[in-house]
Amino acid sequence: MVARVNTILRRHAQRTYAARPSAAVSFADPRASASLEGHALALTRRELLLLRTLSRDPGRVFTRSTLLEAAFPEALDVNERAVDGHIKNLRKKLACVMPSHDWIRSIYGVGFSFAERPA
> Under 8 Å CB-to-CB from 47, ≥6 apart: which residues?
86, 89, 90, 93
Q: Is residue 82 part of a domain?
A: yes
**Per-residue pLDDT tens over the stretch 48-103:** 989 889 988 888 899 998 898 888 888 777 888 889 999 999 999 989 888 888 89
Enclosing domain of residue 101: 19-114
| Integer Cα distance of 46 and 67 in angstroms | 10
CATH of the domain at 109: 1.10.10.10
Q: Is residue 106 part of a domain?
A: yes
**Per-residue pLDDT tens over the stretch 7-42:** 766 665 555 444 556 667 777 765 678 888 888 888
Q: Is residue 38 part of a domain?
A: yes
Q: What is the pTM of this model?
A: 0.75
Count of helix runs (H) and strand runs (E) in the chain: 4, 6
Give the chain's domain count: 1
Phi, psi of 33 (to 5 degrees): -145, 165
Give the residue, 77 or 113, on which the prediction is more confident.
Answer: 113
